[in-house]
Structure 1
Amino acid sequence: MFCRYLFYCYFNALELAPTFIKMDIEGAELKALCGAEKTIKKYAPKLYVCAYHRNEDLFSLPLKIWELSPDYKIFFRHSKYIPAWESNFYCKI
């Protein structure tokens, strides 16, 4: 809780508006979206959110993003990389 508060205060004190948030945090993307709720609602930054760590992320992440702002346009991309793969959401207003 303290870290979230510090992050929010830091941006407010510097009068900086985040324009892009990238999330590739090994399955904690939904928790990060919840933690960044005020920032996302206030600034509507572009979002890059990984969706391949947990099966339910394919459904829960876009629903959460639309809950934060129904104006977001959400794009999905699945890329094949050897030896793995990536599935990501790209979001913008």
Structure 2
Amino acid sequence: MRTIVFAAAAAALLASAGAAFAQMPAPADLIKNWDKDGDGAVSKEEWTAAGRQAERFDLIDANKDGKITAAELEAAMAAMRQRQGG
């Protein structure tokens, strides 16, 4: 009986984690919201002005051009999902 309860709890936890990712806005939509100067990307200044950590910016800015594009954000989010097993 304990095994069934544990399995059901684990399945519910995994389902809720998947649902959380499914509800996240698309990277392009996030970039639009965060891009205050309208250039189609998020600068480090725009990123940190909103209270986000500069270290995370540096991790997401794959080509190190000082801007995060929707493609870079999508790649970072995909890597995060993969690390978390989803």
TM-score by length of 1: 0.26
The structure richer in helix per residue is: 2
Higher RCO (CA < 8 A, seq sep 6+): 1
The structure richer in strand per residue is: 1
Larger Rg belongs to: 2
TM-score by length of 2: 0.27
